[in-house]
A and B are shown apart, each in its own frame.
Chain A
Amino acid sequence: MATIYIDNKPYVVKDRQNLLQVCLSLGFDLPYFCWHPAMHSVGACRQCAVKLFRDEKDTRGKIIMACMTLAKDGIRISIDDPEAKKFRAGITEFLMTCHPHDCPVCDEGGECHLQDMTVMTGHTYRGYRFRKRTHRNQYLGPFLHHEMNRCIACYRCVRFYCDYAGGRDLNAFQCGNRVYFGRHEDGVLENIFSGNLAEVCPTGVFTDKTFRRHYTRKWDLQTAPSVCVHCALGCNTIPGERYGTLRRIHNRYNGEVNGYFLCDRGRYGYEFVNGNRRIRGPLLRGPGGGEARPCTRGEALSRMEEALHTPGRLIGIGSPRASLESNFALRTLVGKDRFFSGVSERERKLSAAALEILQRGPARTPSLHEIRRADAVFIIGEDVTNTAPIMALTLLQLVPCKKVALARSLQIEPWDDMSFREAIQQECAPLYIASAAPTGLDDEATRVYHATPDDVARLAFAVAHVLESGVPGMEGLPENVSGLAGEIACALKEAERPLVISGIGGGSLSMIEGAAAISRALRSVCGKGELSFLFPECNSMGLALMGGRSLAEAREVLREGDADTLVILENDLFIRDAKPAVEELLKSAQHIIVVDHTHNRTSERAELVLPASTFAEGSGTLVNSEGRAQRFYRVFVPDGDIRESWRWIQDMISISGRGEAAGWKVLDDIAGAMAREMPEFEAVTRIAPPADFRISGEKIPRQPHRASGRTAMHAHTDVHEPMPSDDLDSPLAFTMEGYGGQAPPALIPRFWSPGWNSVQAVNKFQQEIAGPLKGGDPGQRLIEPAEGVKSASPDKIPEAEGLRPGEWLLVPLYHTFGTEEMSVLSSSVAERVPAPYLALCPEDALSLGIGEGEAAELIASGEAQQRIRVRYLKGLPRGVAGLPVSLPGVGMIDLPQKVSLVIPAKTADTGKV
């Protein structure tokens, strides 16, 4: 610890920090632009000037940049010094000379860091009377709007986009007063983290283009704490609504999870909530199928009663994208043995295995924050960039511990960003990737190994054996592979915090077991190492914890005639299983009830469709890949009969004349019932303050105290203000009245603090800058490894994969934009979705005589044949083909599996079909 003096008062602060960070952590309002809590200092803007004094006798002092100065023990500075203040006001004035002063028409207005800092420095009158330089703006794709004249040249955008997120198609051009930030010509910004520029840029240069289409000032947005539903990481978000439509998603800082950033899938996927495929009221369909007709809630309930009248004839299919509460309600309705988890047999098996490994230990599943500290990583079979984007962003930041020590020996701290990058010479922590297909992180990897899933698993087991006994100890391992195994084992062993990542995405149990074997070996030999498994969807982990049988077993039950009524919860079965299998399942049910928020091929088959809320209109709990249960809250009250799925299912339980759900008045009740029934969910009851929590007797308002439209919103129908809807489920209110101070961390509806209107207000909510939120980061971990290492079952090492000629091993491929069910329904994301394709390595394609863009017939056993265009993918192993299986337009196939390919005879003219 160090004692520093700020305006002659002593403060005890952490060692080795810079003065700006220290001052902000202490709660001072010191203006800044170029410094960013995650990207640190470069000293580019000169806005954070303070006075530094030699000792207590020094009265003159000198101006220094706080962000570039170490807060050494005994240092004396002044923030209030008149010269420092004048200097800061001068800097703002200087940065603003060419600014167009167009706040009224700027999307950043009202939540602009430049506005805040201008007010904070006191530069209120403009002295500059000359011509301003102007720029041409660029088209940057569907996500960002560009307005270059507002730039103050802080360089945050390039530092985020290139240095932090690894993007290469944005940069700074020219110099001096003409400096320009953009692409070399108009075009789509390709990096999947580009949307963060809207939050990173302190001005209105980069703003959210989708928000612009239905723009509202921040002070008129109704917001609530939420959780992203587009992958299993569960990044925390702040969705904003007005007039019944969801307007945008902002990042919600959670020190343990997403920190300061979101990926573009999470930021822009929200448009499905407003989409025209939403189910907005109950629908009934006659026995013969056909068009469904809207019906009243009463009609829906009586149809429900008919369908449910025979007890014991019912089965329920849950969903990895529905909340814990909704899945639990369904499980209660149908009973434990008749609850099916709604995923394929393969996914159920892999999820259960991964979960068991994590529960058994000894390796622990790290949070994203803990992953940030890893210093050697081995990824097995998972395309992290495309299945869990923010984890990939985290992995891009890893630095070997020894490099940090080296920099420190040169008196360079990691927060001194440019010097630190220079000192470590861009050396990243060792990153090894073994997978069946190329992944988004391959370019960043120390070494990559592409082979069939079984061969990848063999490499993993070999690494484990090297760790344990020094040799791979496996028959028939090629020399290069055993060499690689040795190298990886050595890197993991040398690291202080080695990390192994695998997941369900590769579709291979052997790969998961291989990953587990390495982490076991690391733990037992070196006593270190963490293990992270990526799950596919926002609540896949929750569903795995809840258990439930697979879809194939549901089919079996129906086929045997043990059930005739199917209740399907938020699940399109056609993306789970091959079409013939799903058809069989649906056909063998007499009654199908679907509760969902969006129409899909499954809801089209239901005789009764009940409108469910999305994450924005309902509250619930999701469990992320780490095993962290997180609460999301309803942002706004939907029109009509849309409700949380569990409330519909509660009706079903009561209609069947049963009492279990009678006590479920609010969310806490059902969460409590779930915890009593399944103790693994006990922590869910502690996830957030209960619904009756109040501060000074008041609820926490979802609307900011400056909401300006409140009395005008309904003025065209009634000048009286309508009674706000009540939210029984949470301590949040749908009004602007209520407790005005900071809410407990799980309930923060937006970041705002007096004088801090932009996203940077988050500084005021943290215990220290970039540290945990005051009161602790929200969420409760449900998985901790069991005490003491239990002996594991012996390794099941797969045989080396032999492929017969004419036989192809088809493996799954993933796309950030395209292979996630809900985000592809968002119009902005849809622009980035690739057309369906089958990937072959160029050599294989050549030997098949098939050109890029030509079609092939894909034949998998027991599944419908599909015709699909071929794309070359360098890095695929010979004999392996790739299919982005959940891409719109691609038929579901259980992968990996062996398939055959037929190249249709080319028509004479083009060779195209």
Chain B
Amino acid sequence: MITDEEKKEIRELMSHYATARAAGPEALKIVQNHRGWVSAESLKAVAEMLDMSCEELDSVATFYNMIFRKPVGRHVMLICDSISCYIARYDMLLDHLNRTHGIRMGETTPDGRFTLLPAACLGACDHAPAMMIDETLYGDLTPEKMDNILGKYQ
């Protein structure tokens, strides 16, 4: 099940590729932009458009960590758990989040506001510990700073 708007965007996208299936990852991103995640029904609809089997498209979808095949919160929070952030004690941020919002890695707040996921390097080692919410990157984090930032996202 996808909307005409999504279909239109996907069709436009397909015109840029030599084969329909090459548009797979980007088409999934279109659906995700509209709905936050890719449900089995949406996946099926996209697969049909691209003349792929569900298995073929889902193998692409599940390969990429940032294509969500399960519902996520309104905002996706990626906390870097790579080496620099590890040294800069990113675990303190995690503990803090757990205390204030009751979530751990891979979990969503009960009010559906945040989903917390690990990211293996955000490319911001010089500002470790770092995190990214939706499309915005934040560095040099402390628990207090974090509280302020999270307040902006409802």
Interface residues of A (CB under 8 A from B): 168-175, 180, 183-185
A–B Cβ pairs within 8 angstroms, 29 of them: A168-B53, A168-B55, A168-B56, A169-B53, A169-B54, A169-B55, A171-B53, A171-B55, A171-B56, A171-B58, A171-B59, A172-B59, A173-B58, A173-B59, A173-B62, A173-B63, A174-B62, A174-B63, A175-B62, A175-B63, A180-B62, A183-B55, A184-B40, A184-B43, A184-B54, A184-B55, A184-B58, A185-B40, A185-B54
Task: Produce 1/0 per residue, B51-85, CB < 8 A to A.
Answer: 00111101100110000000000000000000000
Tell me the count of chain B residues lying within 8 A, CB to CB, of chain A. Answer: 10
Q: How far is the CA of A172 from the CA of B58 in the complex (A)?
A: 9
Q: How far is the CA of A172 from the CA of B61 in the complex (A)?
A: 11
| Residues on the A chain within 8 Å of B63, using CB | 173-175
Closest to A158 in B: B59
Task: Produce 1/0 per residue, B65-107, CB < 8 A to A.
Answer: 0000000000000000000000000000000000000000000
| Residues on the A chain within 8 Å of B55, using CB | 168-171, 183-184
Q: How far is the CA of A168 from the CA of B55 in the complex (A)?
A: 7
Q: How far is the CA of A170 from the CA of B55 in the complex (A)?
A: 6
If over half of A's interface residues share one DSSP class (helix, strand or loop), that class is named, otherwise mixed; here it is loop
Q: How far is the CA of A183 from the CA of B54 in the complex (A)?
A: 8
CB distance from B118 to the nearest CB of A (A): 13
| Residues on the A chain within 8 Å of B56, using CB | 168, 171
Q: How far is the CA of A180 from the CA of B59 in the complex (A)?
A: 9
Closest to B54 in A: A184
Closest to A180 in B: B62
Q: How far is the CA of A168 from the CA of B63 in the complex (A)?
A: 17
| Contacts A185-B40, A185-B54 supplied; 5 other A-B pairs, CB < 8 Å | A171-B56, A172-B59, A174-B62, A175-B63, A184-B58
| Residues on the B chain within 8 Å of A171, using CB | 53, 55-56, 58-59
Q: How far is the CA of A168 from the CA of B59 in the complex (A)?
A: 11
| Residues on the B chain within 8 Å of A170, using CB | 55
CB distance from A115 to the nearest CB of B (A): 29
> Which residues in chain B, 124-143, are within 8 Å of chain A measured between CB atoms?
none
Q: How far is the CA of A451 from the CA of B85 in the complex (A)?
A: 69
Which among B56, B62, B63 has the highest number of chain A CB atoms within 10 Å? B62
Closest to B63 in A: A175
| Residues on the B chain within 8 Å of A173, using CB | 58-59, 62-63
Closest to A182 in B: B55
| Residues on the B chain within 8 Å of A175, using CB | 62-63
| Residues on the A chain within 8 Å of B53, using CB | 168-169, 171
| Residues on the A chain within 8 Å of B59, using CB | 171-173
Closest to B55 in A: A171
Q: How far is the CA of A185 from the CA of B55 in the complex (A)?
A: 9
CB distance from B51 to the nearest CB of A (A): 10
Task: Produce 1/0 per residue, B29-49, CB < 8 A to A.
Answer: 000000000001001000000
Q: How far is the CA of A168 from the CA of B54 in the complex (A)?
A: 9
| Residues on the B chain within 8 Å of A184, using CB | 40, 43, 54-55, 58
Q: How far is the CA of A183 from the CA of B63 in the complex (A)?
A: 15
CB distance from A163 to the nearest CB of B (A): 12
Which among A170, A174, A183, A185 has the highest number of chain B CB atoms within 10 Å? A174
Which among B43, B59, B63 has the highest number of chain A CB atoms within 10 Å? B59
CB distance from B9 to the nearest CB of A (A): 23
Task: Produce 1/0 per residue, B8-34, CB < 8 A to A.
Answer: 000000000000000000000000000
Q: How far is the CA of A175 from the CA of B54 in the complex (A)?
A: 17
Closest to B58 in A: A184
| Residues on the A chain within 8 Å of B40, using CB | 184-185
CB distance from A166 to the nearest CB of B (A): 12
Complex A-B, nearest 5 residue pairs according to Cβ-Cβ distance, in ascending order:
A168-B53, A171-B55, A171-B59, A184-B54, A173-B62
CB distance from A758 to the nearest CB of B (A): 27
| Residues on the A chain within 8 Å of B58, using CB | 171, 173, 184
| Residues on the B chain within 8 Å of A174, using CB | 62-63
CB distance from A802 to the nearest CB of B (A): 38
CB distance from B40 to the nearest CB of A (A): 7
Q: How far is the CA of A542 from the CA of B62 in the complex (A)?
A: 52
CB distance from A896 to the nearest CB of B (A): 33
Q: How far is the CA of A172 from the CA of B60 in the complex (A)?
A: 9
CB distance from B69 to the nearest CB of A (A): 9
Closest to B40 in A: A185
CB distance from A737 to the nearest CB of B (A): 49
CB distance from B74 to the nearest CB of A (A): 25
| Residues on the B chain within 8 Å of A183, using CB | 55
Q: How far is the CA of A185 from the CA of B40 in the complex (A)?
A: 9
Closest to B65 in A: A175
CB distance from B20 to the nearest CB of A (A): 14
CB distance from B54 to the nearest CB of A (A): 4
CB distance from B39 to the nearest CB of A (A): 12
| Residues on the B chain within 8 Å of A172, using CB | 59
CB distance from A557 to the nearest CB of B (A): 55
Closest to B61 in A: A173
Q: How far is the CA of A393 from the CA of B35 in the complex (A)?
A: 42
Q: How far is the CA of A893 from the CA of B24 in the complex (A)?
A: 48
Q: How far is the CA of A778 from the CA of B58 in the complex (A)?
A: 44
CB distance from A206 to the nearest CB of B (A): 15
Q: How far is the CA of A169 from the CA of B40 in the complex (A)?
A: 15
Q: How far is the CA of A171 from the CA of B59 in the complex (A)?
A: 6
CB distance from B106 to the nearest CB of A (A): 12
